Amino acid sequence: MNSVTVPLSVIKFSELEKCITSFKLKAVSYTSNEAGGMQFIVIMRNTYSIKRSNTRLKRFLSTMKESTNNLNDSFCNYFHVIKNDNIFEEYLASRIFGTKNVETNEIYDVTGKAFGSLFDKEWLHCDIIDTYLNEWRRRMGEIICNSSNMDKIRIKIYNTLLYTRLTRGVKITSLKPIPKKTYMRIQDNASRIANEKVYHFSKICGSIFDFDVLIIPIHIDDHWITGVIHRPQNCLVEIKKFDDDSMEVDDDIHSSVFVFDSLATDFTVNKHVCTAVLKEYVEACYKSLKEKFLGKDWHFNKDKIRTIKIQTPYQQRNGYDCGLFMLEFIRQIMINPNSLEKLVKGEPMTNVFPKFSVSLSRNYLKLFVYSKVDLQKWIILREMEEYFLNDGSKKKLTGRRSKSVEPKKSIGIESKFKWIKNFSYS
């Protein structure tokens, strides 16, 4: 039997509905992708009932209302682990996981308090920052250690303590020239740090001058900003003498120092101090290196380190996302290191990094933490956040930004509190 094709446009669905409704059937039209876009009508059983649907909807809404009321009364009754403030505080102090800085072997213990810094409107904890940056350090290490990548840009990412150590015992509150005594303290700090081994991954990078970019996460005045030293080797001048005692110096090559600050407030003092401190660190590294390796023809020229002001920097619109902006800035650099040349030449940051965004950063970092722990511990992390968001803990989480002690070198640190093992989801 041959089938007959009828254009869908000639079918009167109102008449068709009258014919099939009494049989509790309904007609549904659809377009088939597999049949070249042909349109079909399917006759199917009509079991839909407005009365029955309304009954089910009302029952569902009443259940939701009751559940919401119970949650408001005592939401922790629905939690498996976090039942009260004491348990919440216990897990804040406990160790979730540990990670090691692949460059310096420092140990970072990510605690519940560090994880709590990823909750809504919270300040980012330094251990979260260092743990995340460690992934970029590892990737850069793979590039540097590969002999076929000698032409690739080499980037060093310092830990969150470097600037704190450089400015230990220093306090500056004005734009006036830095006092001599203060400068001497900075120089002493820089000289001590400059003698430390700068890189553990490869012997190729024996000093800061073997890197093309130095990235320094800076925590100052309860605020995260990013310091960058671009082409540090360009401030080293090899003086070539000729027979007529004349000397040749290339004046077109410079090093650059700049700071990315995402907060549009009066942080000029901080930026002024940061760039000055970073310059002192570069000079201290030169002095340390000269005593060991550099010949007499190599000289340090501080005038060849230019301070750059970033044009149209991305700005945060609140008082708590500075850490996220810092990490996104570093991520953009790591994705495309060559982009820094444009930034140094004065191109607007919004043009250099058009895809700069922190809208999903907080959730991404949460997933990053989840990826580091066993599956059975996920429910604890989730309940910690829900407990905090529902204001189960009346205490504000504090002390997230900076460390008060030097990082630990030991491995195998035991947590103060043990996580629940073999937890059942049923």
Query: Parallel, antiparallel, or unpaired: how do β-strands 247-248 and 240-241 relate?
Result: antiparallel
**End residue of a domain, out of 358, 377, 394:** 358
Contact of 190 with 284, CB cutoff 8 Å: yes
| Amino acid making up residue 399 | G
pTM of the model: 0.74
Judged against a pLDDT cut of 70, whether residue 395 lies above it is answered with no
* Residue 142 lies inside a defined structural domain of this protein: no
pLDDT at 295: 57
Looking at the fold, whether 158 and 32 belong to one and the same domain comes out as no
* Residue 303 lies inside a defined structural domain of this protein: yes
* Residue 332 lies inside a defined structural domain of this protein: yes
Looking at the fold, whether 170 and 305 belong to one and the same domain comes out as yes
Enclosing domain of residue 176:
153-358
Q: Per-residue pLDDT tens for 268-294?
A: 556 778 999 999 999 999 998 876 665
Confidence bin at 335 (pLDDT 50/70/90): very high
Query: For the chain, what percent of residues have pLDDT higher than 70?
Result: 74
Judged against a pLDDT cut of 50, whether residue 399 lies above it is answered with no
Q: Any idea which of 12-21, 96-105, 132-141, 183-192 has the lowest mean pLDDT? A: 12-21
What total of structural domains would you count in the chain? 2
**End residue of a domain, out of 339, 358, 377:** 358
Rounded to the nearest angstrom, the gap between the alpha carbon of residue 238 and the centroid of all alpha carbons in its chain is 39
